[in-house]
């Protein structure tokens, strides 16, 4: 099966700075994939190369089997990109812009698909509104519509919900999940890690231009064994038997690091024996944010 995205030894340098350093990454058709990393990790540079906006220093990148340099037109036709920046033409209405965008890809008579996009993104009542009159959130919806107007098999969403309201997030993800279920490949970059954890099946984490983690979401989250047991106690002083336990506290709210469930009973038993009442209790499972912080802190600068 031809990969949706096939990146081999991809690099991009700006003088002495390696924005990307020998990236190898294969994303299969139909995946919902997360590309994560701190600011400056190289995510936008990688997306720009896939979109044909930036030329790599070395290596190759293909979209649905088409090289982004030597077969640019074919590769770009199969890719839809939602950029971070709000870039729009202020002289057209929403529908006019989508018709023009369709023309860039040689598509005519796709009014039915444009209508569906407008409906799915709650833009139907803004179809004949000039773009400059839209709010920031509405303009971001138009960017998403533009990226989807040619029905690309591969969709890249670069921080698509940054600064938008909850309603748009919900309608957007419902639409994108629908497209993914129909076979579209989706690549998501986001700082809302809870979104990535809920939506994506596999994730790559970048740091300083290199991939430092690449695995399924399930395996990455399971890689952290620690749980956090939060207890609000009837006292602000722990019994001596618990003072050596890895614990953080704020007043009478204590957070214990727990390796397994057996340790929970040990903590509770000591509290009972000491006559300390538990006012509130919560067991927190590790999540993608814990994994992300752990990996970013544990991988030294320049490590592969």
Same domain, 212 and 83: yes
Same domain, 90 and 114: yes
Same domain, 237 and 143: no
Same domain, 210 and 233: no
Q: Which of 202, 221, 240 is the last residue of a domain?
A: 221
Residue 76 lies in a domain: yes
Phi, psi torsion values for 111, nearest 5 degrees: -60, -35
Q: What is the pLDDT of residue 302?
A: 52
Same domain, 215 and 234: no
Question: At 113, which CATH number?
Answer: 3.40.50.300
Q: What is the pLDDT of residue 293?
A: 86
SS (H, E, C) the chain: CCCCEEEEEEEEEECCEEEEEEEEEEECCCCEEEEECCCCCCHHHHHHHHCCCCCCCEEEEEECCEECCCCHHHHHHCEEEECCCCCCCCCCEHHHHHHHHHHHCCCCCCHHHHHHHHHHCCCHHHCCCEHHHCCHHHHHHHHHHHHHCCCCCEEEEECCCCCCCHHHHHHHHHHHHHHHHCCCEEEEECCCHHHHHHHCCEEEEEECCEEEEEEEHHHHHHCCCCEEEEEEECCCCCCHHHCCCCEEEECCEEEEEECCHHHHHHHHHHHHHCCCCEEEEEEECCCHHHHHHHHHHHCCCCCC
Q: What is the pLDDT of residue 138?
A: 85
Residue 34 lies in a domain: yes
Residue 296 lies in a domain: no
Residue 290 lies in a domain: no
Q: What is the pLDDT of residue 303?
A: 45
Same domain, 215 and 229: no
Same domain, 164 and 134: yes
Residues in Cβ contact with 70 at an 8 Å cutoff, skipping those fewer than 6 apart:
none
Q: What is the pLDDT of residue 304?
A: 42
Same domain, 88 and 156: yes
Domain that holds residue 264: 225-285
Q: What is the pLDDT of residue 37?
A: 92
Terminal C-alpha separation, the chain: 28
Q: Which of 192, 221, 250 is the last residue of a domain?
A: 221
Residue 199 lies in a domain: yes
Same domain, 150 and 168: yes
Residue 291 lies in a domain: no
The mean pLDDT values, 10 residues at a time, for the chain of 304 residues are: 96 93 96 94 94 95 97 95 81 92 90 93 92 86 92 93 76 89 94 90 94 92 80 87 82 85 88 91 84 82 50
Task: Specify the number of domains making up the chain.
Answer: 2
Same domain, 88 and 125: yes
Same domain, 211 and 251: no
Residue 33 lies in a domain: yes
Same domain, 280 and 173: no
Strand partners, 281: 231
Residue 17 lies in a domain: yes
């Amino acid at each position: 099966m031809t990969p949706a995205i096939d990146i081999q030894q991809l690099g991009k340098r700006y003088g002495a700075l390696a924005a990307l350093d020998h990236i190898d990454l294969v994303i299969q058709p139909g995946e919902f994939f997360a590309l994560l990393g701190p600011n400056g990790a190289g995510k936008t540079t990688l997306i720009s190369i896939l979109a044909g906006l930036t030329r790599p220093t070395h290596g190759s990148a293909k979209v649905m089997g088409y090289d982004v340099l030597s077969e640019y037109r074919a590769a770009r036709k199969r890719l839809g990109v939602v950029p971070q920046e709000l870039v729009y033409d202020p002289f057209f209405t929403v529908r006019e812009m989508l018709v023009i965008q369709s023309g860039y890809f040689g598509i005519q008579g796709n009014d039915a698909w444009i209508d569906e996009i407008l409906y799915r993104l709650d833009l139907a009542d803004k179809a004949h509104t000039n773009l400059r009159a839209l709010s920031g959130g509405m303009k971001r919806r138009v960017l998403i519509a533009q990226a989807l107007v040619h029905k690309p098999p591969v969709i890249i969403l670069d921080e698509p919900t940054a600064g938008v309201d909850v309603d748009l997030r919900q309608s957007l993800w419902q639409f994108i999940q629908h497209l993914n279920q129909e076979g579209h490949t989706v690549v998501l970059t986001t700082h809302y890690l809870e979104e990535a954890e809920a939506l994506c099946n596999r994730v790559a984490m970048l740091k300083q231009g290199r991939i430092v983690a690449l695995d399924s979401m399930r395996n990455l989250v399971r890689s952290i064994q620690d749980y956090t047991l939060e207890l609000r106690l009837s006292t602000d002083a722990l019994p001596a038997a618990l003072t050596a336990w890895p614990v953080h506290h704020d007043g009478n709210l204590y957070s214990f690091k727990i390796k397994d469930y057996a340790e929970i009973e040990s903590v509770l038993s000591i509290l009972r024996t000491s006559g300390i009442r538990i006012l509130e209790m919560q067991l927190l499972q590790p999540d993608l944010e814990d994994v992300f912080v752990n990996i970013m802190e544990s991988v030294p600068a320049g490590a592969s």
